[in-house]
Amino acid sequence: MPEEKESKNAMKKRLKAEAAAKKKAEKEAAKAAKEAANPKKEKKFVAGDDGDLDPTQYYSNRVAAIEKMHAEGGNAYPHKFHVSHRVPDFIQEFSSKANDGERLEGTTVSIAGRLNSVRGQGKLYFYDLKGDGDFVQIMSDLKTYESEEGFNAIHRALKRGDIVGVEGTPGKSKTGQLSIFPSKIVLLSPCLHMLPKAHGDKAAITDPEVRYRNRYLDLICNNENRRTFEIRARVISYIRRFLDERNFLEVETPSLCLLPGGATAKPFKTFHNDLNQEMYMRIAPELPLKKLIIGGLERVYEIGRNYRNEGIDLTHNPEFTTCEFYQAYADYEDLMKMTEDMVSGMVLSVCGSYKIAFSPKPGMPEVEVDFTPPFKRISMISGLEEVMKIKLPSLDDPKCPEKLAAILKERDIECAPPHTTARLLDELVGEYLESAIVNPTFIMEHPEIMSPLAKYHRSKKFLTERFELFVAGRELCNAYTELNNPKVQRERFLEQASFNADGDDEAMCLDESFVVALEHGLPPTGGWGLGIDRLTMFLSNKNNIKEVLLFPAMKPNAEEMALIAANKPKEDLAASGGKKFPPCPPTKWENTDLGTEGGMKDLDARLGEKEGTFLEGGKPTAADRELVKVLMNMPKNAVGYFDNVNGYFNGVQQFSERIRETWK
């Protein structure tokens, strides 16, 4: 077959393409020849010249660099580095020994910390080293370093945020800055992530959510926030010293309790598998501390955590730190004097003056708070009547709650139900007394109905010998002459139980074991409690409690919720009440066989319908006595199978057998 002749158009296109390809090849060959004749110089290494990288790329680069170091026989995570001086000690010892531009030759020290800034190139590098909240300059030059190879290797490896050890000579730069001139630098732990940077007066991290959830990052980047927690530590140390000097004994009491007591608050519940027992996180250590006074430890105190299942706001966190102390043969007048001495002395010690500046709420201007003793005193009821210019209903008036509710309604003050006398009075106090307080003020002589553990006033009917210390509208301290009459204490507990039946889930329950302890004799005693967190807020001028807690409670974000879901343990058989009702022998009670699942279910339903602690409501009867006997002889996992039965049993068995025998 004859070959097809190329058209003129096709020939033109081919020739044009060949010419273009030839021209391109000649151009690339010329470029290669030029580069060969004039090789490009390698970019000079500059410390810290990676701030424009994407954080993800920075992390990848850093991980790869550390892996390469390990592959070449290096170790980015050594076990030990000897430190001769803490950074603050280094500053204190050498800041006055060297002149400007002088090195203290012959003196070798070793310090360690985190690199806060990195800069330099060639034969001279500068770093700011942070340790224990203070900063010192590292001024590294090739002549001083142990070897040129080591010098180049370490400075290429170091990044901002790394933890390093430095061995060298103390001295000052020509501009007079205290420095260490290293002969050796060791990478102790690399920071793989790019750290936020401060810009001018603006902090490196300003988002509160980020700071609270990542406190370690907050402390790394915002060094000034460290001072808040140093103040907190000084507050606790001062309290310990104050009480130790007055012959108090520091003790520890349980955080897990069979019954929540010692305060009016809603508790957290948990479950003890081995005991098959519902338990509570303590809301206050008061009752066990008073048992120690009964036992002869006449001056005791505890600094520790309490837990309350309540709201989170500017002044409340579910777990918080308090100090409580109890002193035999003291009353509330003695405690007011001790409070003035302790708190005013602490403010003077920590702040250097009795007067401090405090901003009560975010955005509000600062007010001056004067802690100079003595503090002002206001009697609660008479103080309310004076401010409100009315006569409040008598506390023994059966219609007192209705009358107080009417007063609140008339003045457009809201109170969440139930409308008990205690809750209504508390709203009035908050509205008319607490909100007007700036300087430390004692609100004292609370009604008995608001103070179930305080002793009745020796001369004022229906009132107690109690006080609360308020500063800038916030409660700081609560104390009273302790109630030590077991008969009256039992009556107060039963009164609180009736409030609980009315829907007040913060009312106290009846702790019979404490009443029995009182029957052995509690000497006249003064009891006192102070919130460490709130006091720290005042002394550090913080109006959000999260600022003074290293790890405040936060609502989980989406990332944390996913982590929780991925690591959620399998539902525990005992904690869930068991998957199967355990085998039991026939157990008769009121024509019901509680040894069967159906019989126990019927009892659970009956208990779920009742109001109050007992079968007949707020008062125990012989039926309760007999039911407890029956349940005590049954397997624990059978009693704990149904929630209402378990709750009833846990509550009623707290009464001693001697007390139960009196139930008719």
- Whether residue 398 lies inside any domain: the answer is no
Query: Taken in order 163, 164, 165, 167, is the CA torsion positive or negative?
Result: negative
Query: Does residue 139 have a pLDDT over 70?
Result: yes
Contact yes or no for 455/482 (Cβ under 8 A): yes
Query: Does residue 211 have a pLDDT over 70?
Result: yes
* Judgement on whether residues 593 and 542 belong to the same structural domain of the protein: no
- Whether residue 276 lies inside any domain: the answer is yes
Query: Does residue 620 have a pLDDT over 80?
Result: yes
pLDDT for position 501: 56
List, in sequence order, every beta strand (DSSP E) within 90-206: 109-121, 124-131, 134-141, 163-172, 178-189
How many Cβ atoms are within 10 Å of 28's Cβ, its own excluded? 10
Query: Does residue 573 have a pLDDT over 60?
Result: no
Query: Does residue 533 have a pLDDT over 70?
Result: yes
Task: Please report which confidence band the pLDDT of residue 42 belongs to, taking 50, 70 and 90 as the band edges.
Answer: low
Query: Does residue 191 have a pLDDT over 90?
Result: yes
Query: Does residue 188 have a pLDDT over 50?
Result: yes
Give the SS3 label for residue 250: strand
Instruction: Calculate the average pLDDT of the chain.
Output: 90
Query: Does residue 100 have a pLDDT over 60?
Result: yes
Nearest C-alpha neighbor of 472 from the set 386, 544, 370, 378: 370
In sequence order, the 6+-apart residues with CB closer than 8 A to the CB of 380 are 425, 429, 433, 443, 444, 445, 446, 447, 463
pLDDT for position 657: 79
pLDDT for position 41: 55
pLDDT for position 576: 46
Question: In whole angstroms, what is the distance from residue 454 CA to residue 463 CA?
Answer: 9
653 or 170: which leads in pLDDT: 170
* Judgement on whether residues 514 and 593 belong to the same structural domain of the protein: no
- Whether residue 443 lies inside any domain: the answer is yes
pLDDT for position 574: 45
Contact yes or no for 509/423 (Cβ under 8 A): no
CATH value at residue 333: 3.30.930.10
* Judgement on whether residues 168 and 75 belong to the same structural domain of the protein: yes
Task: Please report which confidence band the pLDDT of residue 607 belongs to, taking 50, 70 and 90 as the band edges.
Answer: confident
Question: By percentage, how much of the chain surpasses pLDDT 90?
Answer: 64
Question: In whole angstroms, what is the distance from residue 399 CA to residue 419 CA?
Answer: 12
Task: Please report which confidence band the pLDDT of residue 178 belongs to, taking 50, 70 and 90 as the band edges.
Answer: very high
pLDDT, mean of residues 216-223: 96
Contact yes or no for 528/339 (Cβ under 8 A): yes
pLDDT for position 48: 66
Residue that finishes a domain, picked among 161, 189, 217: 189
* Judgement on whether residues 233 and 170 belong to the same structural domain of the protein: no
Domain, as residue range, for 647: 588-660
Which range has highest mean pLDDT (202-206, 563-567, 656-660)? 202-206
* Judgement on whether residues 493 and 634 belong to the same structural domain of the protein: no
Phi, psi (5° rounding) for residue 617?
110, -120
Number of domains comprising the chain: 3
pLDDT for position 507: 60
* Judgement on whether residues 619 and 505 belong to the same structural domain of the protein: no
- Whether residue 608 lies inside any domain: the answer is yes
Question: In whole angstroms, what is the distance from residue 63 CA to residue 435 CA?
Answer: 55
Residue that finishes a domain, picked among 189, 219, 246: 189
CATH value at residue 90: 2.40.50.140
Residue that finishes a domain, picked among 189, 221, 248: 189
pLDDT, mean of residues 292-306: 98
* Judgement on whether residues 177 and 234 belong to the same structural domain of the protein: no
Query: Does residue 575 have a pLDDT over 50?
Result: no
Query: Does residue 98 have a pLDDT over 90?
Result: yes
pTM of the entire predicted model: 0.79
* Judgement on whether residues 326 and 239 belong to the same structural domain of the protein: yes
Query: Does residue 553 have a pLDDT over 50?
Result: yes
Query: Does residue 537 have a pLDDT over 60?
Result: yes
Contact yes or no for 336/467 (Cβ under 8 A): yes
Question: In whole angstroms, what is the distance from residue 621 CA to residue 86 CA?
Answer: 69
In sequence order, the 6+-apart residues with CB closer than 8 A to the CB of 329 are 298, 523, 524, 525
Question: In whole angstroms, what is the distance from residue 432 CA to residue 239 CA?
Answer: 31
- Whether residue 482 lies inside any domain: the answer is yes
Question: In whole angstroms, what is the distance from residue 100 CA to residue 118 CA?
Answer: 22
pLDDT, mean of residues 28-44: 69
pLDDT, mean of residues 294-311: 96
pLDDT for position 45: 61
191 or 512: which leads in pLDDT: 191
pLDDT for position 12: 77
DSSP characters over 535-553 = HHHHHHT-SSGGGG-SS--
Question: In whole angstroms, what is the distance from residue 615 CA to residue 467 CA?
Answer: 38
Contact yes or no for 535/476 (Cβ under 8 A): yes
Q: Is 144 exposed, middle or buried (0-12, 13-18, 19+ CB in 10 A)?
A: middle
Contact yes or no for 191/160 (Cβ under 8 A): yes
Residue type, 137: Q
Q: Is 196 exposed, middle or buried (0-12, 13-18, 19+ CB in 10 A)?
A: middle
Bridge partner residues of 464 (DSSP): 456
pLDDT for position 2: 54
- Whether residue 497 lies inside any domain: the answer is yes
pLDDT for position 453: 85
- Whether residue 535 lies inside any domain: the answer is yes
* Judgement on whether residues 345 and 250 belong to the same structural domain of the protein: yes
In sequence order, the 6+-apart residues with CB closer than 8 A to the CB of 323 are 236, 239, 301, 302, 303, 529, 530, 532
Bridge partner residues of 525 (DSSP): 328
DSSP characters over 503-539 = T-TTSPP--HHHHHHHTT-PPSEEEEEEEHHHHHHHH
* Judgement on whether residues 246 and 353 belong to the same structural domain of the protein: yes
- Whether residue 481 lies inside any domain: the answer is yes
Query: Does residue 32 have a pLDDT over 80?
Result: no
Contact yes or no for 309/267 (Cβ under 8 A): yes
Contact yes or no for 235/535 (Cβ under 8 A): yes
Residue that is written with structure tokens 């309490």 in the block: 306
pLDDT for position 577: 45
Tell me: the pLDDT tens digits for 500-510?
A: 555 556 566 67
Tell me: the pLDDT tens digits for 389-399?
A: 999 999 999 99
Query: Does residue 107 have a pLDDT over 90?
Result: yes
Find the Cα–Cα–Cα–Cα dihedral 183, 188, 192, 193, rounded to 10°: -80
* Judgement on whether residues 155 and 63 belong to the same structural domain of the protein: yes
**For 47-51, 58-62, 447-451, 563-567, which range has the lowest pLDDT when averaged over its residues?**
47-51
pLDDT for position 499: 66
Nearest C-alpha neighbor of 516 from the set 534, 549, 495, 493: 493
* Judgement on whether residues 353 and 479 belong to the same structural domain of the protein: yes
